[in-house]
């Protein structure tokens, strides 16, 4: 009770001090405290270390992600946050973990292959050895030629993936020119890059792959090898497999150089033998997916039912430890709310952090959350009117350089003012553009203000995104520290405005149009 | 016999046509033929493919190198070269091959580790599992603390190796400024970069390592993990182990990120378990080392006893397939002599190609060869006077940009003239500087003109030199084609001069001073 009295007294002064005439004005007192906590007592790299090195890969449904639920919710409690929940969002399906991953070429000579079982495939459960066959099929007619000859074989199919020598740096930061270029509106939406031609090529390829896969099952193939996307020099990318195929074959994704060597040898008529010993485990005891939620209750009696959210997806791929995708974003959001709590800055609205899961399989955690939290029977519920904004982070380890307005011009003067505090950190680009591909879309899709930040790409596209090399080393500590400060500031400012952030008009039409 | 008559007639005209007043003048007819063969019928990438993808790693004493002896000597015969020999140079010692290479972290979670057994170490011969221990010793006193606690353990020692994010490109070519910079003489010799302080630091570290190694043996350590030099993102470097330790422990070299993750976990008090299953095989049936030699006999009766040599080391490291180190150089030298033979250009002196072995362990093949071929009882023999020059290639896959004079200023006008034909290929830098580290030193060391070319670095220092990623993909086909043409031209010109190339004065003094 004493706390509450003190709180009212404080609120009276704070409100006047910090939110004067312009209710979007920067609160320099709070900013000072946030920067002080975020620069001098930063825990962001310690949080990221726990999520990566210590907890490891966090594929949705895996043991790693369950450990991450426990550890992150434990941290939130330790930091004194309220309403900490590991909140089920629905059925995800079977969990899956890799228990052993070994593959090697044994003929024409021995050399281990860098690789890992494809997601949700079974293992070989013991050492197998088989002749490699290059199923060089461009059509279903080509496939037929291989019938009757694939039992017990290790099969590879044509790939356009190469591992070229890189005369450009893996990692880069945006130049001023590139940031300036982002401030113009894009005329076409992002789908337009997929021409009809490309779509039909894609469909044909998928059809051929499916037909091949069925034949491989019928024939009794021992294992499929794959390589997806570039990278190279020891880096390989992983991709989604079918999660619900009880007859799936053992399948591995391997380094492009090792894959293409086998293809070249077979194409020139050399015999290649491959051995493998892989083990995977499915988990069926709890097939639910969860989000981890925690709050700092709002301090203004008039506004504490309103909410500002920040979040990031906690789930990851499994060949690395999901350092930049998305321990980086999770650690920044955790650190941001820790800073807000620890620095004791005034927060009129409730601040809620969410760590999503199932993002990599289709934004499941956030999409299910917004449906149950903000919607009822396809229409906005009361909570829908009470959310001011959702800030998301899922663009890797790079420094924040600005923010995407997601088409909402009304936000420009507000965000411009807030970002003016971060000009010396190189973060002051406000672009009208949309960005997609992650959890803010779940909010934007139902007419709620959801945002992603512009971040320096670093080596996200070349080295880390969904790769075996998305490891702790790839985290840029200085960037993550800055990012937490910027996010904390944005959240604090949003929480303390007199009004909620302006929304786009005709939300549902807009959402359909996207 | 008919051939010989025709040959004398031909020689009469050729000599006058091609070697007029200036006997160093470029022979444009021959150059045309060399370029035609080298550009339009190039086999260099096919040769390189056979050496890498097909034959694989070629560690001295390994099965791969024996296969390479057979295949390269077979090619030389197929091309119609003379005096093809797989020539023993002396005892190398036991051969060694990797038969299985598997290592993984199993606690706190499962993740396979990228790695390979260290050269000439035994395997585990079956699956082993042990707790990882970070022997964080900076002195022998520190070591003592671990006594009695290492039986069956997997040990790691401190490393300064990091795997930083790379904001610079892996691969690069020399700029005009860099090439220009090379044309000035270096004042200090290469040893001066090692300060006394550095040498004593190095000695102390070696002493500590030796003491640690003895303790690990005494304790019964299950396996040692290592990481040497940078790289990262899936690339790791291999290093020389002891070749003659019958009590050597199983030891692996692993990717720096995977190594450092274990170190970080152990340093923070986490338990780490590692499992490994490695198998290596020693070969004792033939412990000799060999060089592969072949010739095009000289066509000038007065000069055919004189020799121009070209060569490269055929042996490689074993975690990749030695593509840039040194299938690239071997393929270029093989292609160069193939071009000379196939194009039928006049060659007054005998041209001899050598593919060395044991280079990576100390230039053994070339050093033993020059001793038996050019020396007797520590003094030059008759052959010593008959060698005009030796051209070597061992700087990776990059385009030739010029040549090192190895301090011999008398060669400048000659090489300048010859390289004038390659200005349009970007190769016309002639530098007085020495370069070291490979087989031309064996010749230079006994006062014979031995040369290396300036080559674009590409990703030699960052990605390929002694790494698991020194694979076929890293070869630059266009560069290798050009290089073979340049080498063939240099050899042709040298073979056809009236005199041998000028030598440095006071050869043995010079060689001692180096």
Look at residue A186 in the predicted model and tell me its pLDDT. 67
What CATH number has the domain bearing residue A449? 3.40.630.10
Return the SS3 of B236.
strand
Taking only the tens place, the pLDDT of each residue in B465-505 is 999 999 999 999 999 999 999 999 999 999 999 999 999 98
- CB spacing of B236 vs A234 below 8 angstroms: yes
Say whether both B477 and B390 belong to one domain.
yes
Query: How many beta-carbon pairs under 8 angstroms link A with B?
Result: 154
Phi and psi at B294, nearest 5°, equal -160, 160
Q: Which two tokens stand for residue A56?
A: 């490891």
Q: Which residues of A touch B270 (CB under 8 A)?
A: 54
Given A164, A233, A476, which is nearest B234 (Cβ)?
A: A233
Looking at residue A189, which CATH number applies to its domain?
3.50.30.30
Q: Does A403 touch chain B (CB under 8 A)?
A: no
In chain A, the number of structural domains is 2
For residue A200, the enclosing domain spans: 95-283
Q: Is A47 near chain B, with CB under 8 Å? A: no
Pair (A251, A208) in one structural domain: yes
Could you read off the pLDDT of B241-291 as tens digits, one per residue?
Answer: 788 898 999 999 999 999 999 999 999 999 999 999 999 999 999 999 999
Q: Is residue B48 in some structural domain? A: yes
Predicted confidence (pLDDT) per residue in B84-110, tens digit: 999 999 999 999 999 999 999 999 999
CB interface of A with B, residues 67-106, below 8 Å: 97-102, 104
Quick check: B171 and A170 CB within 8 A? no
Q: What is the pLDDT of residue A185?
A: 72
**Domain-located, residue B207:** yes
B148, B20: one domain: no
Does the beta carbon of B324 lie under 8 angstroms from any beta carbon of chain A?
no
Task: Give the residue from B283, B308, B328 where a domain finishes.
Answer: B283
Say how far apart CA A460 and CA A171 lie, in whole Å.
Answer: 8
pLDDT at B187: 54
Q: Tell me if A16 is assigned to some domain.
A: no
Could you give the CA distance from residue A242 to residue A244 in angstroms, rounded to a whole number?
A: 6
Residue B80 lies in a domain: yes
Q: Is residue A250 included in any domain, yes or no?
A: yes
Q: Are residues A242 and A146 in the same domain?
A: yes
Pick A54's closest partner by Cβ from B166, B265, B469.
Answer: B265
Is A109–B166 a contact, with Cβ atoms under 8 angstroms apart? no
Query: Mind telling me how many Å the CA of A29 is from chain B's nearest CA?
Result: 36
Torsion sign (Cα): A141, A145, A149, A152: negative
What pLDDT band is residue B193 in, cutting at 50, 70 and 90? low
Residue A10: the pLDDT is 47
Whether A459 and B165 lie within 8 Å, measured CB to CB: yes
Rounded to an integer, the average pLDDT of B398-414 is 96
Please give the ipTM for the structure prediction: 0.93
Chain A residue closest to B476 (CA)? Answer: A165
- Is there a single domain that holds both residue B107 and residue B81? no
Does A325 share its domain with A389? yes
Residue A11 belongs to a domain: no
Same domain, B122 and B39: no
In the predicted structure, residue B510 carries a pLDDT above the cut 60: no
Spatial CB neighbours of A61, under 8 Å, sequence gap ≥ 6? A92, A93, A94, A95, A96, A283, A287, A289
Q: How many C-beta neighbours within 10 Å does residue B367 have? A: 20
B130 and B82 in a common domain:
no
Of A268, A283, A298, the one marking the end of a domain is A283
CB B51, CB B70: distance < 8 Å: no
pLDDT of residue A24: 85
Residue A165 to residue B64, Cβ atoms within 8 A: no
pLDDT value for A193: 52
Same domain, B34 and B49: yes
pLDDT tens, residue by residue, B41-58: 999 999 999 999 999 999
Share the mean pLDDT of chain B. 92
In terms of domains, do A275 and A334 share one?
no
| Domain assignment present for A6 | no
* B108–chain A Cβ distance below 8 A for any pair: yes
For B470, the closest chain A residue by CA position comes to A233
Low-confidence ranges of chain A (pLDDT < 70): 1-22, 186-194, 506-514
Could you tell me if B311 and B257 are in contact, meaning their C-beta atoms sit under 8 angstroms apart? no
Residues A324 and A277 in one domain: no
Same-domain status, B104 and B199: yes
Token code pair at residue B285: 């049936």
**Which among A282, A277, A250 has a CA at the least distance from the CA of A126?**
A277
CA distance to A90, A446, B274, per residue, from A379 (Å): 20, 9, 53
Residue B507 within a domain: no
pLDDT at position B194? 59
- Closest chain B residue to A165 measured between Cα atoms? B474
Please say which residue of B262, B283, B304 terminates a domain: B283
């Amino acid at each position: 009770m004493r706390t509450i009295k003190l709180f009212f007294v404080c609120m009276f002064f704070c409100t006047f001090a910090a939110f004067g005439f312009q209710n979007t004005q920067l609160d320099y007192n709070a900013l000072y405290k946030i920067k002080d906590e975020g620069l001098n007592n930063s825990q962001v790299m310690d949080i990221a270390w726990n999520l990566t090195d210590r907890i490891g890969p966090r594929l949705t449904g895996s043991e790693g992600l369950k450990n991450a639920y426990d550890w992150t919710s434990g941290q939130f409690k330790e930091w004194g946050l309220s309403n900490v929940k590991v909140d089920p969002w629905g059925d995800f399906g079977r969990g899956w973990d890799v228990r052993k991953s070994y593959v090697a070429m044994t003929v024409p000579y021995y050399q281990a292959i860098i690789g890992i079982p494809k997601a949700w495939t079974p293992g070989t459960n013991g050492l197998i050895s088989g002749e490699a066959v290059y199923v060089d099929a461009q059509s279903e007619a080509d496939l037929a030629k291989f019938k009757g000859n694939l039992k017990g074989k290790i099969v590879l199919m044509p790939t356009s993936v190469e591992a070229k020598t890189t005369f450009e740096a893996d990692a880069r930061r945006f130049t001023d020119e590139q940031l300036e270029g982002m401030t113009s509106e894009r005329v076409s939406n992002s789908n337009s890059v997929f021409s009809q031609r490309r779509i039909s090529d894609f469909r044909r390829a998928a059809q051929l792959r499916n037909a091949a896969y069925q034949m491989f099952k019928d024939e009794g193939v021992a294992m499929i090898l794959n390589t997806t996307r570039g990278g190279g020099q020891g880096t390989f990318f992983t991709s989604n497999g079918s999660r619900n195929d009880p007859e799936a074959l053992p399948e591995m994704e391997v380094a492009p150089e090792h894959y293409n060597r086998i293809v070249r040898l077979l194409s020139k008529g050399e015999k290649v033998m491959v051995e493998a010993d892989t083990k995977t485990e499915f988990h069926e005891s709890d097939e639910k997916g969860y989000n981890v939620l925690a709050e700092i209750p709002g301090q203004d009696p008039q506004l504490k039912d309103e909410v500002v959210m920040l979040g990031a997806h906690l789930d990851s791929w499994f060949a690395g430890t999901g350092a930049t995708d998305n321990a980086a974003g999770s650690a920044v959001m955790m650190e941001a709310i820790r800073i807000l709590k620890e620095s004791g800055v005034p927060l009129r609205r409730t601040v809620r952090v969410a760590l999503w899961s199932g993002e990599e399989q289709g934004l499941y955690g956030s999409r299910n959350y917004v449906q149950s939290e903000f919607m009822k029977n396809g229409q906005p519920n009361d909570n829908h009117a009470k959310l001011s904004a959702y800030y998301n982070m899922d663009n890797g380890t790079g420094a924040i350089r600005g923010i995407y307005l997601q088409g909402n011009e009304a936000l420009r003067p507000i965000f411009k003012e807030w970002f003016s505090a971060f000009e010396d950190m190189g973060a002051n680009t406000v672009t009208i553009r949309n960005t997609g591909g992650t959890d803010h879309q779940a909010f934007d899709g139902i007419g709620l203000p959801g945002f992603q930040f512009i971040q320096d790409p670093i080596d996200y596209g070349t080295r880390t995104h969904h790769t075996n090399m998305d490891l702790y080393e790839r985290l840029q500590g200085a960037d993550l520290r800055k990012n937490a400060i910027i996010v904390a500031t944005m959240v604090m400012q949003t929480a303390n405005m007199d009004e909620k952030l302006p929304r786009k008009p005709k939300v549902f039409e807009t959402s359909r149009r996207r």
